[in-house]
């Protein structure tokens, strides 16, 4: 019986070796075509039309002390045409830093459709880490502004809850607006901010390093913060149209 | 005798190990949680809940029900009471079999979100195109959806469209990738589209398979990345 088993194992081993031999690369002989011409390789830049985001990768990084460097270092995109894209400063739309909460908004380059990634970060022990990403392809557009003085007629809406704050993003092909509702206690007055009045509130108008305006005011222990790559006039108009921070429909005026 | 015992024990052990692997693979998936959002009522039996999740791939981590299709009053009988020999003439969906219950049908898969950091990241996933999933019928002949709905008990001809503003969040663990499948949870039926005469005899009929959405649903997935 033992001998039979040994024979079987041996046969199996032989069979496997033979099988492996059959699959070794180079076993097939390629046909030789004399005088065959090789077509010149042309480098074709893939058309962005129809190209969309296939994968969003958040990598580990070491640039944690600066919020912008952190986002630029850790975000990577793979598009449906196979291209790997890293964000550069040119793709940076705007950013906010409120206490230990920050947002960096990026626009994905080389994509066939306008697409924004709104990256939320948190600062712990002076180091920024990415906590969430709101991925907004601008494709199916809405027209109902619900009473808000938005600076475009058609837009996409995205919403993200971050810790005990809520962020709404309104995006068109060229403009991105962020409206945030935060707990008031995390706010410190930004340096160099100009005092303005918004709906009888004492508000602060500031400009980010990207040259983008931002307005903040406190209402009923809540901080309202709005920013976007708009003009100051457009942003002020939007701020004036906002409902009370306590409104259940916030930021919509007429839901 | 001894060698026979050795061999039979080894064979038995091997068999048990082999079948043990198969059995544990089949039963390995724990119950996938189903969350009812937007005020949709959970009125499913435990069996129906299991139908919702049992055919999902092993990468699925949870299901969210977004919207529900309206129910339709089922037609009890074509017979006109009190006499059993008189029927309301018209079409009926007869000899029916429910061949699938709450089977997930994919409309669009969202982008993949890969987390290579050391802590959880929440991604709000949206899709790039709007896709509609509607009720479908297999037959080439024309039929009235209302007749089918009176038998299956819900608006099977309905449709749901996914638009990019309906983002759903998925929290991805370190060294994992997550994504959301957008689709519907469908019932599948087969039967005969039959003409019932006023004397309750059956006239022309043709075989008809239908399927349609019970719910608009999303399925969150997660796999390890290396």
Distance of CA A103 to the CA centre of its chain: 10
H helix or E strand, kind and range, residue A96: strand A92-98
Is A220 strand, coil or helix? coil
Kindly report the number of other CB atoms within 10 A of residue A143's CB atom. 8
State whether ipTM is beyond 0.95. no
In sequence order, what are the beta bridge partners of A129? A122
DSSP string covering B8-38, please?
A: HHHHHHHHHHHHHHHHHHHH-PPPPPEEE-T
pLDDT at residue B14, rounded to an integer:
53
Strand ranges (E), A99-200: 101-107, 115-124, 127-137, 156-162, 165-171, 176-183, 194-198
Interface residue B9 vs chain A (CB under 8 A): no
Judged by CB atoms closer than 8 Å, whether chains meet at A140 and B163 is answered as yes
pLDDT at residue B107, rounded to an integer:
87
Mean pLDDT of A225-237: 96
pLDDT at residue B109, rounded to an integer:
85
Indicate whether A20 pLDDT > 80.
no
Interface residue B4 vs chain A (CB under 8 A): yes
Q: How far away is chain B from the Cα of A245, in angstroms, using its nearest Cα?
A: 23
Indicate whether A173 pLDDT > 50.
yes
Q: Rounded to an integer, what distance in angstroms lies between the CA atom of residue A13 and that of residue A8?
A: 9
Is A235 strand, coil or helix? helix
In sequence order, what are the beta bridge partners of A84? A78
Q: Rounded to an integer, what distance in angstroms lies between the CA atom of residue A66 and that of residue A132?
A: 17
Indicate whether A175 pLDDT > 50.
yes
**Strand-strand pairing, B90-109 and B176-196:** antiparallel
pLDDT at residue A50, rounded to an integer:
79
pLDDT at residue B4, rounded to an integer:
59
pLDDT at residue B27, rounded to an integer:
40
Rg of chain A on CA atoms, in Å: 28
Tokens encoding A71: 């986002």
Indicate whether A121 pLDDT > 60.
yes
What are the phi and psi torsion angles at A81 (to 5°)? -90, 10
Judged by CB atoms closer than 8 Å, whether chains meet at B122 and A131 is answered as yes
pLDDT, one tens digit per residue, over A26-45 is 444 444 444 444 444 444 44
Judged by CB atoms closer than 8 Å, whether chains meet at B129 and A139 is answered as yes
Residues written for chain B: 226
pLDDT at residue B7, rounded to an integer:
60
Which is higher by pLDDT, A233 or B73? A233
Kindly report the number of other CB atoms within 10 A of residue B40's CB atom. 16
Is A91 strand, coil or helix? helix
Between A52, A60, A134, which is nearest B128 by CB? A52
CB neighbour class for A174 (10 Å; exposed up to 12, middle 13-18, buried from 19): exposed
Q: Which residues does A contribute to its contact with B (CB < 8 Å)?
A: 1-2, 5, 52-60, 74, 113, 129-137, 139-140, 142, 156-161
Parts of chain B with a pLDDT under 50:
15-29, 128, 164
Work out how many CB contacts closer than 8 A connect A with B.
91
Indicate whether A212 pLDDT > 50.
yes
Question: Which has the closest alpha carbon to A133: A173, A160, A114?
Answer: A160
Residues written for chain A: 255
Judged by CB atoms closer than 8 Å, whether chains meet at A58 and B116 is answered as yes
DSSP string covering chain B, please?
A: -HHHHHHHHHHHHHHHHHHHHHHHHHH-PPPPPEEE-TT------HHHHHHHHHTS-TTEEEEEEEEEPPB-PPP--SBPSS-SS-B--EEEEEEEEEEEEEEEEEEEEPPEEEEESSS-EEEEE--SS-EEEE-EE--SS---HHHHHHHHSB-TT-EEEE-TT--EEEEE-TTEEEEEEEEEEEEEEEEEEEEEPTTS-EEEEEEEEEEEEEEEEEEEEEEE--
DSSP string covering A1-50, please?
A: -HHHHHHHHHHHHHHHHHHHHHH-TT-SPPPP-TTPPPPPP---PPP-TT
CA dihedral angle for residue B86, residue B91, residue B94, residue B97, rounded to 10 degrees = -150
Q: How far away is chain A from the Cα of B165, in angstroms, using its nearest Cα?
A: 6
pLDDT at residue A31, rounded to an integer:
42
Interface residue B167 vs chain A (CB under 8 A): yes
Between B121, B126, B165, which is nearest A58 by CB? B121
Tokens encoding A192: 């160099």
Kindly report the number of other CB atoms within 10 A of residue B57's CB atom. 11
To test the contact with chain B by mutation, choose from A113, A128, A132, A171 the residue with the greatest count of B C-beta atoms within 10 A, namely A132
- Which residues, 6+ apart, have CB-to-CB distance to B73 below 8 Å? B150, B153
Give a three-class secondary structure readout of A172-187: CCCCEEEEEEEEHHHC
Q: Rounded to an integer, what distance in angstroms lies between the CA atom of residue A16 and that of residue A22?
A: 10
Interface residue B169 vs chain A (CB under 8 A): yes
């Amino acid at each position: 019986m033992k001998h039979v088993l040994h024979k079987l194992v041996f046969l199996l081993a032989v069979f496997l070796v033979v099988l492996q031999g059959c699959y070794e690369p180079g076993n097939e002989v390629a046909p030789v075509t004399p005088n065959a011409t090789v077509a010149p390789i042309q480098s074709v830049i893939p058309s962005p039309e129809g190209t969309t985001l296939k994968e969003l990768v958040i990598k580990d990084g070491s640039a944690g002390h600066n919020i912008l460097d952190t986002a630029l270092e850790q975000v990577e995109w793979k598009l449906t045409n196979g291209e790997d894209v890293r964000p550069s400063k040119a793709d940076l739309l705007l950013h906010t830093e409120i206490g230990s909460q920050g947002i960096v908004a990026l626009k994905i380059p080389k994509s066939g459709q306008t697409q924004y990634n709104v990256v939320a970060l948190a600062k712990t022990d002076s180091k920024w880490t990415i906590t969430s990403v709101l991925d907004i392809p601008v494709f199916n557009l809405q027209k109902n502004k619900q009473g808000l003085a938005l600076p475009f007629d058609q837009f996409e809406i995205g919403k993200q809850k971050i810790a005990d704050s809520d962020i709404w993003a309104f995006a068109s092909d060229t403009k991105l607006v962020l409206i945030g509702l935060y707990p008031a206690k995390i706010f410190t007055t930004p340096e160099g901010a100009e005092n303005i009045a918004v709906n009888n509130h004492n508000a602060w108008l500031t400009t980010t390093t990207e040259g983008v305006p931002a307005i903040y005011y406190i209402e009923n222990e809540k901080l309202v913060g709005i920013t976007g790559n708009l003009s100051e006039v457009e942003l002020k108009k939007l701020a004036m149209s906002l409902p009370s921070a306590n409104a259940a429909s916030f930021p919509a005026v007429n839901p | 005798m001894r060698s026979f015992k050795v061999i039979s024990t080894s064979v038995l052990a091997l068999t048990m190990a082999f079948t043990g692997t198969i059995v544990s693979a089949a039963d390995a998936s724990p119950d996938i949680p189903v969350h009812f959002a937007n005020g949709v009522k959970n009125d499913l039996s435990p069996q129906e809940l299991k139908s919702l999740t049992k055919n999902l791939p092993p990468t699925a981590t949870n299901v969210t029900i977004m919207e529900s299709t309206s129910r339709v009053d089922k037609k009890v009988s074509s017979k006109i009471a009190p006499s059993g020999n008189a029927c309301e003439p018209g079409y009926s969906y007869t000899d029916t079999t429910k061949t699938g219950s709450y089977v997930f049908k994919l409309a669009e898969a969202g982008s993949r979100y890969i987390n290579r950091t050391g802590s959880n990241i929440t991604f709000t996933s949206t899709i790039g195109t709007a896709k509609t999933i509607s009720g479908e019928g297999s037959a080439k002949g024309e039929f009235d959806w209302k007749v089918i709905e009176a038998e299956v008990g819900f608006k099977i001809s309905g449709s749901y469209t996914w638009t990019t503003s309906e983002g759903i969040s998925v929290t991805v663990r370190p060294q994992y990738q997550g994504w959301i499948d957008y689709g519907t949870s469908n019932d599948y039926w087969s039967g005969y589209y039959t003409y019932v005469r006023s004397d309750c005899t059956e006239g022309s009929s043709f075989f008809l398979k239908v399927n349609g959405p019970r719910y608009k649903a999303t399925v969150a997935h997660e796999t390890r990345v290396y």
